[in-house]
Structure 1
Amino acid sequence: MVSDNPLMMTEQDMGASTTSGAAMDRRVARRARPWWRRRGVLIGLAVVLIGVALWRFLPASGSTDVAAADLETGEVARAAFDDYLPVRATVAPRVTTLVGVLSGGQVERLLVQDGTVVHAGQPLATLANPELRLDVLTREAQIASQLGQVAGEGLGIERNRLDRAGQVAQAEYDLIKARRDLSVRQQLHDQGFVSDAGVKSFQEEAAYQSQRLAQLRTGRATEARITATQGARLADTQQRLSGNLAAVRAGLEALTIHAPAGGRLTNFTIQPGQTLKAGDPAGQVDSEGSWKLEADVDEYFLGRVAAGQRARTSDGAALTVSRVLPAVKDGRFRVELTFDNSAPAGLNRGQTLDIRITLGARSRALVAPVGSWLEAGGGSSVFVLDDDGRHARRRSVKTGRRNPEQVEILSGLAQGDRIVTSNTASVKGDILNIR
């Protein structure tokens, strides 16, 4: 009979249970794990993957990440190089003559206006200076009085000369008369009509007149030498006084401003009532129809631009560099150019023209595109792209001649190299990682 109490077990049941427990306590052999699931291998793989990710996604030391869209690139090639310099030049008069004030005063009247074409010596304005005018009149009177005295001395010398000449002429006449009387008396004496005593008095008279004439002639020669010296002195004094008088009168003439040359009057901005001092500028006269060009050139080309080089405007007018002013101001120096033929019609002062100065003949050279990269270190280095285009590395280069499109490469690059032409001045490292 089977008991309904589950807690009650028969001996047979207990024996069976004991046998079953013993069977369950036996060790079961584990299955071996694959090598790729071992902990050390997994940790190693994780480290490698993290390292690759860091290398791929984090910039290396000394490198900079940039977006490909922000970069401009160009290729180094061997091509024809046109050695020229484009500049913008300003039209200026070829000859400019300053209008100066010779004597100070107050502007009384303007005779012409700014921009008028004038001829040399033309009056431009008059000045008022009462003190100068009074001084000129006083000095003029003094000099005139001195000239009168000199003229009086000259008249006195001339009068003495004439008197001496009259005395000589009278003595010559008296000698002739005495000799004629002596000749008559001598004939009468020879005929016995006159005694020796009657002839002797006429002989003495003739001798006296001869001696008197000789003395007068000697005195006249001496007096002529003295008179010549006095005359030269008086002439010199008169010339000097006349020069002084002309200078004094020129002082009044200086109150009128004249054009120093012919041309167009510019910068003539003085106004009636304005007070001017001697030496003040009153304007300038520009040569009309005769022009030159002035251009400010970057100091980089200071050693390459020289007088005598050829140039041409955008309209084809031929020019020659006439002068190079080497003084550098704000990084630029000035160049002057003249037209080989007549200047084009319609030019005006201050007008700008685009010109090209030829620095050398066309030649083949290794060239790279110009760009902002030349501003970084003066073009001494450039970033060169790797073949895959994912990185660019800084490389030292040496540049030579330049034009607006090309720069000559002397060393550091080879034909076919691709370079970064955009501005990289802010990049501190030597590698660009292009994303």
Structure 2
Amino acid sequence: MDKQIEKKRFTPKKIAAISAAVLFVFFILYVFLLSDQSSKLNVERERITISTVQRGSFHDYIPVTGEVMPIETFFLDVVEGGRVIQKFVEEGAILKAGDPIIKLENVNLTLQTIYNQTQVVQQENNLRSYRLTLEQNKLNLQTQILNLNNQIKNQQRVYETNKQLYEKSLISKIEFENSRDQYDYLLKSRDLSIQSFKLDSLSRDEQIKQLETTLKQFQKNMKLIEDQFSNLLVRAPINGQLTALNAEIGKSIAGGQNIGQIDNTEAYKVRVDIDEHYIARVREGQVGECTFDDKTYKLEIKRVFVQVTNGRFQADMHFIGEAPKGIRRGQTFHIKLELGGLSDALLVDAGGFYQTTGGQWIFVVDKSGGFAVRRPIKIGRQNPQYYEVLEGLRPGEKVITSSYDNYNDYDKLVLQ
């Protein structure tokens, strides 16, 4: 009788398969749970810069670049238009206030001047003739009144004599009344003449005032035209250098047109360009310094232009005390602009990493020195040497401060 053989549940093949599966599961768990999943990059130490975070004094300043400009520029705008008939100086000339620059010709203004001169002369003659006529009328009236007074005296004597004779019946009544009426007539004539003289005087004074007012208006117009005529000779308004002149003989220039400019060469200012990052911290009164011919000069901000163009704004700085000798418009100055005094702060060396990270993170070197890991930080004030660290780092830690152009996508750098 055959004996039944019991079939084994775990054969070597099954045991091998199960073992492989268990090992695979453990490998997956190791890879996803236990191993380092951060992105890594091997970096040679010679290609990076490692700096130590330290506490020290922070000098709050920024370097700015400025262009030398005249402290005052006067633009030459022609008041009266015309054609250039004479040119006294050329561009670049040193001028004093009042020196002639160009002379213009304006035919219409010339004709208007001649017309107004004629009107003034005519009005003066009219006034003179009228005054002469009024004086003659005045003399005639005065002579008339004088004759009437004389006639009244004679007639009064006749009248009084006839009155006495009439009372004694020595003359007729008609003769008496005629003498009386003649006397009354002369009195009334004198009163009318006096009244006419007064009215003529008032009228004469009023007419003279009107003529004088008209004459003064013509003279005022003439003065305005003369001023306009004098504007045809363009003169230097200030002492300085004629740095631009756009006027040639025969060229027609319209009224109000700019023909050039004069720079005040007795003093200069420096107009600096500043990154918009500092617009809230730059204000009038702040001081900077620059070097020229191995000598240091101080400057002060006098005006801030808050308009931002291409990420930058401008400010005007004036020299404090003595200004450099021999500087010219267009020269460039490198200025250290003070934003604040010295203060204690946690510092990290300035470097190329900031252009990539914006000061939001940095690679911190492990104590072993074998690798560096990415860590969030917060940067405050800056100067060309240091960044002020507000959060994320401790004194003594080492960080990579060179450029991160090739490291932006990695969390860990392995140092070799």
TM-score bucket of the superposed structures, by smaller chain: 0.7 to 0.9
Q: Structure 1 421/187 Cα, relative in aligned 2: closer, same or farther at 3 Å?
A: same
Q: Structure 1 94/197 Cα, relative in aligned 2: closer, same or farther at 3 Å?
A: farther
User: How far does the alpha carbon of each residue in 1:127-167 deviate from its partner, in whole angstroms, 9 at most, with x for none?
Assistant: 45xxxx44334333433443344334423542343134213
Q: Structure 1 111/250 Cα, relative in aligned 2: closer, same or farther at 3 Å?
A: same
Q: Structure 1 149/207 Cα, relative in aligned 2: closer, same or farther at 3 Å?
A: farther
Q: Secondary structure at the match of 1:79?
A: strand
Q: Which residue of 2 aligns with 1:266?
A: 243
Q: Structure 1 276/146 Cα, relative in aligned 2: closer, same or farther at 3 Å?
A: closer
User: How far does the alpha carbon of each residue in 1:264-323 deviate from its partner, in whole angstroms, 9 at most, with x for none?
Assistant: 111225444555444433221111212111111111111111112222333343322111
Q: Does 1:116 align with 2:93?
A: yes
d(CA) in 2 for partners of 1:267 and 1:143?
A: 36
8 Å contact kept, 1:368–1:406: yes
Q: Which residue of 2 aligns with 1:416?
A: 396
Q: Does 1:386 align with 2:372?
A: no
Q: Which residue of 2 aligns with 1:138?
A: 111
Q: Does 1:301 align with 2:288?
A: no
Q: Structure 1 167/322 Cα, relative in aligned 2: closer, same or farther at 3 Å?
A: same
Map 1:172-321 onto structure 2 (within 5 A).
Answer: 172-178=145-151, 180-181=153-154, 208=185, 210-248=187-225, 252-268=229-245, 270-314=247-291, 315-321=295-301
Q: Secondary structure at the match of 1:114?
A: coil
Q: Which residue of 1 aligns with 2:355?
A: 375
Q: Secondary structure at the match of 1:366?
A: strand
Q: Which residue of 2 aligns with 1:337?
A: 317
Q: Does 1:161 align with 2:148?
A: no
Deviating more after overlay: 200-209 vs 395-404: 200-209
Q: Which residue of 2 aligns with 1:401?
A: 381
d(CA) in 1 for partners of 2:197 and 2:221?
A: 35
- The structure with the largest strand share of the pair is 2
Q: Secondary structure at the match of 1:328?
A: strand
8 Å contact kept, 1:189–1:196: no
d(CA) in 2 for partners of 1:188 and 1:75?
A: 142
8 Å contact kept, 2:51–2:348: yes
- Alignment partner of 1:431 out of 388, 412, 415: 412
Q: Which residue of 1 aligns with 2:54?
A: 77
Q: Which amino acid is 1:289 matched to? A: E
Q: Structure 1 200/67 Cα, relative in aligned 2: closer, same or farther at 3 Å?
A: farther
Alignment gaps of 5+ in structure 2: 1-15
User: How far does the alpha carbon of each residue in 1:158-191 deviate from its partner, in whole angstroms, 9 at most, with x for none?
Assistant: 2343134213422442244245545766897899
Q: Structure 1 106/149 Cα, relative in aligned 2: closer, same or farther at 3 Å?
A: closer
d(CA) in 2 for partners of 1:320 and 1:88?
A: 14
d(CA) in 2 for partners of 1:62 and 1:431?
A: 6
Normalised to the residue count of structure 1, the TM-score between the two structures is 0.74
Q: Secondary structure at the match of 1:336?
A: strand
d(CA) in 2 for partners of 1:218 and 1:366?
A: 106
Q: Structure 1 71/233 Cα, relative in aligned 2: closer, same or farther at 3 Å?
A: farther
Deviating more after overlay: 207-216 vs 65-74: 207-216
Q: Which amino acid is 2:386 matched to? A: Q
Identity over aligned residues, as a percent? 25
d(CA) in 1 for partners of 2:259 and 2:130?
A: 51
Q: Secondary structure at the match of 1:126?
A: strand
Q: Which amino acid is 1:376 matched to? A: T
Q: Which amino acid is 2:64 matched to? A: V
Deviating more after overlay: 203-212 vs 64-73: 203-212
Deviating more after overlay: 138-147 vs 260-269: 138-147
d(CA) in 1 for partners of 2:70 and 2:342?
A: 33
Q: Does 1:354 align with 2:331?
A: no
Q: Structure 1 205/114 Cα, relative in aligned 2: closer, same or farther at 3 Å?
A: farther
8 Å contact kept, 2:67–2:270: yes
Root mean square deviation of aligned Cα: 3.6
Q: Which has the larger radius of gyration?
A: 1
d(CA) in 1 for partners of 2:160 and 2:128?
A: 48
d(CA) in 1 for partners of 2:412 and 2:383?
A: 28
Q: Which amino acid is 1:429 matched to? A: Y
Deviation at 1:244, TM superposition (A): 4.1
Q: Which amino acid is 2:267 matched to? A: S
- Alignment partner of 2:67 out of 78, 90, 99: 90
User: How far does the alpha carbon of each residue in 1:221-265 deviate from its partner, in whole angstroms, 9 at most, with x for none?
Assistant: 444444454444444443443444455555554443322322111
Deviation at 1:205, TM superposition (A): 6.1
Q: Structure 1 139/273 Cα, relative in aligned 2: closer, same or farther at 3 Å?
A: closer
8 Å contact kept, 1:164–1:220: no
- Alignment partner of 1:322 out of 282, 299, 302: 302
Deviation at 1:338, TM superposition (A): 1.5
Q: Structure 1 211/395 Cα, relative in aligned 2: closer, same or farther at 3 Å?
A: farther
d(CA) in 2 for partners of 1:352 and 1:177?
A: 100
Length, aligned pairs only:
379
